């Protein structure tokens, strides 16, 4: 039987959890949305009467928070109660690159995901749909289910993968008019019903043709590879920027000529210092680590080259600045 979602809980009030849950609350007034986090200062900021003080600045976000907060959107540190009341639980916590142990420097650190799973298992007394919103390695859902099934209270848990595709500065529009919403579920009767329940939530404002359903593993891998492909384009145009400099070609003109080809398109073909941010490098390194763990060394080497090119571009740019400043930056101010 298809479950009607009346209460949603999101563990993690950060860059992904806050805006995503705000949009769901704004577009689904019949659903109560509780965003919980153990960071008291962060929750206080989300609850600040002056919405200019919310912890994330995205154009249009403050007005959406103001519209829904206190009606069907709530921010709290009471994680246990939110878990208990929820029909559907989004996990949207940080998954940084590991700094020690097996996979150091490449693999994703899943300690926060594991802590969430153990807390849900300890608290839940009714069936829950668990949604992976954090960017995760392939097969994380399997590990989540193992924790939930083996440490729970005889409760049924269905795991979905619903990766985010938000860009800083356009997050609200990305949520309002997504290119696609990706929902991965288990290929069982229960899994398909859970998947449909989340489809029904997004259908309140996203057209059905933009909601893609896959198996869990395809969804998890699609997130990593989407970021890898975008980062690859940045590294590709940056690799040409140096060639343009030595041949006196204009890299912007080259990018415009390449981007006018409809098969390629203009997006992410902007030569620069390289990509930064919280996603591209982390996700590519994760992809490299997964490939190596399966013995796919050539695949790993291919994607690692995107990182190598990006690091080279940053070093090259810094070197040019130093050379322009007569090989010393001592006592000089550099404005960006």
Would you please indicate which residues are annotated as catalytic (active-site) residues? 164, 223, 279
Count of C-beta atoms within a 10 Å radius of residue 310: 23
Please tell me the distance from the alpha carbon of residue 88 to that of residue 78, in angstroms, as a whole number: 16
Nearest to 89, CA basis, from 119, 65, 54, 112: 119
Q: Please check whether residue 309 is in contact with residue 238, taking contact to mean a CB–CB distance below 8 angstroms.
A: yes
Q: Which residues are bridge partners to 211 per DSSP? A: 181
Quote the CA–CA distance of 44 and 21 in Å, as a whole number. 17
Residues in the chain: 336
3-state SS, 70-102, equals CCCEEEECCHHHHHHHCCEEEECCCCCECCCCC
In terms of Cβ atoms closer than 10 Å to its own Cβ (0-12, 13-18, 19+), residue 203 is middle
What is d(CA 102, CA 169) in angstroms, rounded to the nearest whole number? 35
């Amino acid at each position: 039987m298809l479950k009607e979602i009346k209460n949603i809980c999101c563990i993690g009030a950060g860059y992904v959890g806050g805006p995503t849950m705000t949009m769901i609350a704004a577009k689904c007034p019949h659903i109560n949305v509780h965003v919980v986090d153990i960071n008291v200062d962060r929750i206080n900021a989300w609850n600040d009467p002056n919405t200019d003080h919310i912890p994330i600045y995205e154009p249009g976000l403050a007005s959406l928070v103001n519209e829904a907060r206190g009606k069907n959107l709530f921010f709290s540190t009471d994680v246990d109660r939110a878990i208990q009341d929820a029909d559907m639980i989004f996990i949207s916590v940080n998954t940084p690159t590991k700094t020690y142990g097996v996979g150091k420097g490449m693999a994703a650190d899943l300690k926060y995901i594991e802590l969430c799973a153990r807390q849900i298992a300890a608290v839940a007394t009714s069936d829950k749909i668990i949604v992976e919103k954090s960017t995760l390695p392939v097969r994380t859902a399997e590990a989540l289910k193992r924790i939930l099934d083996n440490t729970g209270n005889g409760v049924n848990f269905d795991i979905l993968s619903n990766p985010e595709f938000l860009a800083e500065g356009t997050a609200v529009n990305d949520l309002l008019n997504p290119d696609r919403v990706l929902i991965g579920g288990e290929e069982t009767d229960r899994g398909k019903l859970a998947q449909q329940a989340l489809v029904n939530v997004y259908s309140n404002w996203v057209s059905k043709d933009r909601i893609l359903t896959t198996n869990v593993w395809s969804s998890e891998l699609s997130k990593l590879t989407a970021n890898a492909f975008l980062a690859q384009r940045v590294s590709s145009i940056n690799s040409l920027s140096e060639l343009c400099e030595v041949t006196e070609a204009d890299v912007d003109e080259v990018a415009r000529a390449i981007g006018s080809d409809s098969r390629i398109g203009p997006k992410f073909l902007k030569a620069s210092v390289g990509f930064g941010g919280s996603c591209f490098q982390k996700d590519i390194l994760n992809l490299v680590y997964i490939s190596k763990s399966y013995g796919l060394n050539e695949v790993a080497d291919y994607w690692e080259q995107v990182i190598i090119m990006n690091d080279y571009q940053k070093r090259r740019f810094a070197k040019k600045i130093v050379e322009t400043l007569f090989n010393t930056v001592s006592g000089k101010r550099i404005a960006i």
